[in-house]
Structure 1
């Protein structure tokens, strides 16, 4: 083959092993991200081999022995860990081990971890941060957090997930208009666990009601780990819907005026973007990741100041909901444009390695 032909030849497809051994039963938002980002269709013509398990023992065996064994046997393959962190033996395979990082709270917020996460996930994550060579991150904010703890010569590349209209909200006629004669209906989405800080959401809604604005809070999400006193005696304004299917969430979104998040920490906050397909206005905490993801489309409040947050939400609901609905639609389109560019860079990485990021400074988080 001539030198000219060699330079233009199509790279041979790579085998990509995807660790999905933690997936069983209901798929969470984070798991949906993994399935979408690293699907065979998105990575074609590269060969995607999903590694699954039938239970917790099988998962542990696959993560700590099965995947390293495959890496020894298939020395040209790439191994991607989009959910649980890789085991120390997988990290030993250097640049062939790629960790997708959704957030760094396994290191930064131990008080918000279940005992299972503290014992099993956190040590592996800490080891990966210290010795890993290749990281993909879901936001620039997450990337900066990874940069603070990873080795200086590691690649930290953006792979923001595209946000599909998973709840079928795009054809909603409009966001419910606020009528002061009727209750203000607020939606919150997410597992009930400490990091989501639902007590702050309850305090804000209580402050709205105390100010004379009838307000309802509708929470969609299973009860997770931790002790939640409000579940023992829920306030009258709270409706706990538990898990609902996509059609059920669509009905709720259509009847609510806005979505409220009071989460203490997120790497991305996927539901905040997903509901924007329906033009649902979003109220989120002040913070770098929320500003990055939502841009100027949201109202930002301080969850630890419920009276102040309630006053801002009340004024916003009275005057800005139509404008906020249009901003939500524009923002999810903006985000998906960024995600498409990241996906193209990652496919280039599969073809050409780190050279794909050499001329794409917006696609990486550099070492300081």
Structure 2
């Protein structure tokens, strides 16, 4: 008989490391789940290889190893995977495959969305990244499903912790530099951020927006190229991203919807103030920190930003709130991690490694 194993679907790795990939590496790697017996399963051959791994190789591994379970932290489990029921545990980042079909590319519509819906109707145990996602997913999951929190611990991925000590509020005549981080695609609604920059300029406040993130689908990229005061940098490696963040006064996120908002928390390592769409998940993530605005009202958002920066020490105080919020979040994430380790150990018949320490 094979020893108990936990297979982790890493078939989506191998691209640029953005939010989805980072979550897999930092929450579901052998190091993150130690001392549990984790076996990563990767693929080769691009999209075709990934689909083959998810639909054939992983189901075969579960069929041969009847004690094993599988974690799916990236894409939804394939339909053949879901047929293994309680032995398959997905990590759900958001509900957009079901709730925002207009924002999906063709691969997501044809492959991922049907698999996601199938899994939610059948799997009894789901992991989610936030309380907001848990409430949202409950609408689609089976009635008796257990939906457990596994919030990510936020690491200083950009190496910006030293910047938190020197957050200076710019003079009203100085250009206010905002940064947005994430894939340029319709749901991120970066055109709303560009409109806020235009409103700031119209109100007499010099401003510019730097966008860091790969160019995705839709018409967003071309529209942003034409927007005044907006610079598209594309995907940047961490060192280059750090240089941009170091020259920035605040991070802005005008997403229409999110399951978490990882970059908001990552930016807070550097004491960066955050300006974000006023929606439930951002309220959960930011707590008492940051500035929430109606991103559909650029003039009102611009006025709120100008008012926030009126105090000479505004960004110094914002840095303190950012670091306090990051501490709050990471303490909750540590508790989630300990609970999951115990739960997975019990699932494969091992004693609780946390209790034995």
**Does the pair score TM above 0.5?**
yes
Task: Assess if the C-alpha contact under 8 Å between 2:197 and 2:207 holds in 1.
Answer: yes
Written as runs of structure 1 = structure 2, the 5 A alignment for 1:124-143 is 124-143=115-134
**Aligned mates of 1:23, 1:252 — CA distance in 2:** 26
2:282 is the counterpart of 1:290: yes
Matched residue, 1:74 = 65
1:348 aligns with 2:339: no
8 Å Cα contact 1:170-1:277 kept in structure 2: yes
* C-alpha contact (below 8 Å) 2:68/2:348 kept by paired residues: no
Q: Identify the residue that residue 332 of structure 1 maps to in structure 2.
A: 326
Q: Give the equivalent residue in structure 2 for 1:9.
A: none
Separation (CA, whole Å) in 2 of partners of 1:18 and 1:318? 49
Q: What is the CA–CA distance in structure 2 between the aligned matches of 1:179 and 1:13, rounded to whole Å?
A: 63
8 A contact 1:13–1:46 mirrored in 2? no
Match of 1:279 in 2: 271
* 1:28 match: 18
**Partner SS state of residue 193, structure 2:** helix
- Structure 2 residues without counterparts, runs of 5 or longer: 350-357
Aligned with 1:206 (options 198, 208, 222)? 198
Q: Offset at 1:346? A: 0.2
Secondary structure in 1 matching 2:32: helix
Moved more, 50-59 or 298-307: 50-59
Aligned residue in 1 for 2:352: none
- Greater shift in the superposed pair: 142-151 or 222-231: 222-231
- TM-superposed deviation, 1:42: 2.1
Q: 2:258 aligns with which of 253, 257, 266?
A: 266
Aligned to 1:6: none
| TM-score, normalised relative to structure 1 | 0.90
Asked whether the 8 Å contact 1:14–1:46 carries over to 2, the reply is no
| 1:219 pairs with 2:211 | yes
- Mapped to 2, the partners of 1:351 and 1:123 lie a distance apart of 30
* Residue-by-residue CA offset, 1:301-330 (whole Å, 9 max, x unaligned): 001111101100111122232211110111
Task: Using structure 2 for the length normalisation, give the TM-score.
Answer: 0.93
Structure-2 change in CA distance of 1:232 and 1:179 (3 Å): closer
Query: Within 2, Cα distance between the matches of 1:340 and 1:228?
Result: 37
Aligned pair count reads 345
Give yes or no for contact 1:175–1:256 (8 Å, CA) kept in 2.
no
Deviations 1:114-152 (A, max 9, x none): 111101111101111111111100001001111111011
Give the conservation status (yes or no) of the 8 Å contact 2:194–2:224. Answer: no
C-alpha change, 1:245 and 1:232, in structure 2 (3 Å) is closer
Residue matched to 2:310: 318
The 8 Å contact of residues 12 and 21 in structure 2, kept in 1 or not, is answered as no
1:232 Cα deviation after fit: 7.2
CA contact under 8 A between 2:225 and 2:232: conserved in structure 1?
Answer: no
Displacement after TM superposition at 1:183 (Å): 0.5
Q: CA deviation at 1:153?
A: 1.3
Q: Partners of 2:272 and 2:181 in 1: how far apart? A: 13
Could you say which residue in structure 1 is the equivalent of 2:355? Answer: none
Shift of 1:239: 1.3
The more displaced of 39-48 and 136-145 is: 39-48
Partner of 1:363: none
